[in-house]
């Protein structure tokens, strides 16, 4: 597992923690729960070549990842969103694999905080 700095914008993450106070753990818990459900759906949308659903799911995952300052994961989701918008779905399985790996790291780090 990498360090927090490898997977999060630490300054933004700490600011969020300060602002959220007691609700911070709940935010992270909801993020993990939602992401655990969203990830298989992303893969399914790619498998079905559903560019619209893939774009919407990637956009949502990008936003939630950005909200918790998981910048590298948000960037990978942005790449999928853009490719789906352009209906360029070939080679997205590679990016989704990168998302799987990055999310696993983010999730593991979050679990150490809860």
φ, ψ of residue 105 in degrees (nearest 5): -65, -45
pLDDT of 70: 98
- C-alpha 79/C-alpha 59 separation (Å) is 10
Three-state DSSP string of the chain: CCCHHHHCCHHHHHHHHHHHHHHHHHHHHHHHHHHHHHHHHHHHHHHCCCHHHHHHHHHHHHHHHHHCCCHHHHHHHHHHHHHHHCCCCCCHHHHHHHHHHHHHHHHHHHHHHC
pLDDT of 55: 98
- The CA-CA-CA angle for residues 59, 49, 41, to 5°, reads 50
Mean residue pLDDT of the chain comes to 96
pLDDT in tens, 6-57: 999 999 999 999 999 999 999 999 999 999 999 999 999 999 999 999 999 9
- C-alpha 59/C-alpha 54 separation (Å) is 8
- The CA-CA-CA angle for residues 101, 10, 109, to 5°, reads 40
Q: Which CATH architecture has domain 4-113?
A: Up-down Bundle (1.20)
pTM over 0.85: yes
- C-alpha 30/C-alpha 25 separation (Å) is 9
Band of residue 1 on the pLDDT scale cut at 50, 70, 90: low
């Amino acid at each position: 597992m990498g360090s927090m700095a490898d997977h999060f914008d630490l300054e933004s993450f700490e600011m969020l923690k300060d602002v959220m106070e007691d609700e911070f753990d709940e935010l992270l818990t909801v993020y993990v729960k939602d992401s655990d459900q969203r990830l298989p759906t992303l893969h399914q949308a790619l498998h079905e070549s559903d560019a619209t659903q893939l774009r919407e799911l990637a956009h949502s995952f990008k936003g939630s990842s950005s909200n918790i300052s998981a910048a590298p994961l948000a960037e990978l989701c942005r790449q999928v969103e853009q490719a789906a918008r352009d209906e360029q779905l070939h080679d997205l399985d590679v990016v989704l694999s990168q998302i799987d790996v990055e999310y696993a790291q983010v999730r593991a780090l979050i679990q150490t905080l809860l």
